[in-house]
Amino acid sequence: MRPRQIVAALATSAVAVTVLTGAAPADLRPVASPGVQACAEAPDQARVRQGAQVAEPALYAKKDARKYGVIKDLPTLAPGSVEVETVFHVVTETTPTPAQRARTTSMIDAQMQVLNDAYAGTTSPDAAATPFRFTLDHVTWTVDATWAHVSPGKPERDMKAALHEGDSETLNVYAADIGDNLLGWAYFPKGYNNGRDYIDGVVLLDESMPGGTVNAYNEGDTLTHEVGHWLMLEHTFAGGCSASGDGVADTPREAVPQFGCPEGADTCPTPGLDPIHNFMDYSVDACMDMFTPGQADRMSDAWQDFRAGGNG
């Protein structure tokens, strides 16, 4: 178990994120960036940090929402029963020096430990153990000035078409110096069809890994968060205070994303405080430490419905 960060409140005046600048709760939904809209292909989910100057990419286009359907309710897989082969693709603008390469390799090793601790439920007494454990198969190294600062759209598609490995059971992680204060983004299972299965995977800000330089977001929980999306978890604030919320019964409703670690925040009239310690909120890394049993069950169902057996 790791220590939690607790603060009394977050000064909203310092937040420049689009979804937090005077919008009414009904407007606090992810919206597509212009580049994503132009391509008609949006990352399903993203994580942004405090001070982001752009909105996160969209969940998916409204016209495509129905194709995802309802996840079948299946028996929950046993904790630790699914081993996910993981491939890291490190993309840099220039060839890394031996020291830089050694540092990145060490960060990836630490990142894999953080990821496994989170999905094993060892990060908090309240955390649920999930079926998933992640094994690093190998790391690729690519030098490309455009891909090193990849954004959603054509650069992302070109990069992934060249680098993606495996099938829908393989977790591809693309670590690069992405911009606009985005920490990462990912795709829901089955959200990368139409002959573009290679688009699957997680794009990750490289310095968000443990030991990175992104203050408050450098303990490795961006990958934890994005893999949750890869396994079909919504943000805890998805749906706001509506009855459906994020589609998981045991996560309290939340009207807006929470930044920092505002202990006691309660933005919906339904029971429960805002789930600021949940990996699927926008809290800082030191605040995040749990998935719920309902989230573990949803990820288990999504794996069996959409990923197991190399489905794509």
pLDDT at 216 over 60: yes
- The answer to the question of residue 44 being in a domain is no
- The answer to the question of residue 112 being in a domain is yes
pLDDT given at position 63 = 40
CATH number for the domain spanning 222: value is: 3.40.390.10
* Most confident option among 47-51, 62-66, 229-233: 229-233
Question: Do residues 57 and 152 touch, judged by C-beta distance below 8 A?
Answer: yes
- The answer to the question of residue 254 being in a domain is no
Range 242-264 average pLDDT: 93
Question: Do residues 245 and 251 touch, judged by C-beta distance below 8 A?
Answer: yes
- The answer to the question of residue 19 being in a domain is no
Q: Give the tens place of pLDDT for each residue, 56-112.
A: 444 444 444 444 546 788 999 999 999 999 999 999 999 999 999 999 999 999 999
Question: Do residues 289 and 5 touch, judged by C-beta distance below 8 A?
Answer: no
Tell which wins on pLDDT, 143 or 195. 143
Looking at the annotation, which residues are catalytic? 226
- The answer to the question of residue 279 being in a domain is no
Range 140-161 average pLDDT: 95
Domain count of the fold of the chain: 1
Neighbours of 110 (CB within 10 A): 16
- Give the alpha-carbon dihedral of 274, 277, 279, 284, to 10 degrees: 100
Q: Give the tens place of pLDDT for each residue, 9-24.
A: 222 222 212 222 222 2
Tell me the residue type at 144: D
- The answer to the question of residue 253 being in a domain is no
- The answer to the question of residue 272 being in a domain is no
pLDDT at 263 over 90: yes
Q: Domain range for residue 112? A: 82-233+284-310
- The answer to the question of residue 70 being in a domain is no
